[in-house]
Amino acid sequence: MSLAICIKCGARKIGAWTPCPFCGFRAVDVEDLARAMLLTDQAQSKQALKAAAKEIKQGRFELDERLLDPIVRNLKQDDKLLAQVRNLKPRKLTTVWPGFPWLLILALLTLLIILWRSSQQ
Ligand SMILES: [Zn+2]
């Protein structure tokens, strides 16, 4: 999954077609799906995404419609993919961070050591 920008509110999220965890928007129309595809770090540089997010938040974002056409055409040929995309579950940035369980274990171990040490004195 790639880093993406919500095409409605400009929030950062994981995956072009996942529902936005902030405003709840989920692309359903083929045109919106194509727009969402263009607003990922796979389609654009991080700086361009940042600029797009800012413009969306200010309500003055315009996507080059010429870029959309080929993607829209491809999507329309793939019914299976479209059905899959429309059933995606929301994912928040924090829930996919792979380091989290390890950090929790480390914190628990540290706590145990502190407790053990204080019981020794
Ligand atoms: Zn949003």
The 10s digit of each residue's pLDDT in 32-57 is 999 999 999 999 999 999 999 999 99
- pTM, 2 dp: 0.68
Cα–ligand 1 centroid distance for 98 (angstroms): 23
Provide the H-helix boundaries in 1-121. 30-38, 46-58, 65-76, 79-85, 100-120
Mean pLDDT (whole number) for 51-77: 92
Q: What is the pLDDT of residue 45?
A: 93
Angle at CA of residue 75, ends 43 and 11, nearest 5°: 45
Average pLDDT, the chain: 87
Question: What are the residues whose beta carbons fall under 8 Å from the beta carbon of 70, sequence distance 6 or more?
Answer: none
The CA 48 to ligand 1 mean position distance, Å, reads 18
